[in-house]
Every structure is written in C-alpha cells, then in structure tokens.
Structure 1
C-alpha cells in the first residue's frame, strides 16, 4: 500500500478526490495492514451510529474493536492509501472514468 501524503485532517468524503484509494487500517505495533473500501466503511459507521461521511480518517481507528490478527494488539492507525496494483496511469484512467 502507498499512503497518500499531506492528508492529516482528511475526512472519509475526501476519498472521492482520489479514485481507487482505500482506507488502510494498520497495526502500530507490528505493521500489519489491510485496505478497506471507503464506501463500505462509511455504511458500517452509519449502521453503528458512530460516524459517516464527515468522520475524520484518523478517528476511524477508534471504532475498531478487534485485535490485530498478527500480534493481538489494539493499537490501530488509519489513513487513505492506494493499493499496490494501482499506479499513476491507472489513477488517471479512473479519474477520467469517474469524471465522464
């Protein structure tokens, strides 16, 4: 995963500006990370009545109750990131697709 830089105060709704990005949930202890579709995260937060579109990306980590599958810790961090299979060319293609 390639984290997006300079998005410290980003909200979940800002993900639509970066086509193809995901919400990366990572363990601060062991470095385990996994990407989740932002739309599904928003829907889940609405179901739990714990947030929505305007939720800060960094605050999503507080909603995670499960322990890390690798180290069993509960020190989570979240940020927007691109999966490894999406390069700059694919990003431009997706942006054009969403625009049109």
Structure 2
C-alpha cells in the first residue's frame, strides 16, 4: 500500500512494457489523491492526458528533475486537476462498480 505520507509517486515505467498495460500502483495513487509522475507513451500517460495533466508525464533524464518535482508539488492548479481525476477514478475503481461490471458480463 502507498504511504499516506507520500505526496508524489514516481512511476518511471518502461514505455515498451507499459504502452498498453495498466498499473495498480498508478490507480491506487490517483484514488488516494496523490500526484503520480510517469513516463511518456504509457497507459498511465494516456490516462493523465485525459485529465489535462501532461505536466506529470516527465523525462526522467532531465538534469533539472528535482526542480521540476518541486514546481509540480507547489502547483495548486495541478492539485485541483488531481482532485477531479481522483473523484472520477473513485467512481469507477471501487468494489460496487467492479461487481456491477462482472454481473453484467454473465
């Protein structure tokens, strides 16, 4: 489980491996309202783009990575967009909805 004390979750996943694969850690981070940073050309990046959070798709080789992390952490606009995404994710990623989807496929 993710720590309740973490504000930013770093997910430097391989683009080749995660282009179409999902990440439970990413979903957990978003449902907890965490800022999840990920690699371009991944499923997680696609999800962030749907919520206009392209700034969380980062280049891990950036020499100014620490400065970038600080800017993201302090950005109130990003936090507002994360709250919106969290709300949507919690509506979909829950036991009741999972059971509903399973039941409808029977």
- TM band (smaller chain): under 0.3
User: Which structure would you say has the larger RCO, counting Cα contacts within 8 Å and 6 or more residues apart?
Assistant: 1
State the TM-score, normalized to the length of structure 1.
0.26
Give 1 or 2: higher helix fraction. 2
> Which of structures 1 and 2 has the bigger CA Rg?
2
TM-score (norm 2): 0.25
More strand by share: 1
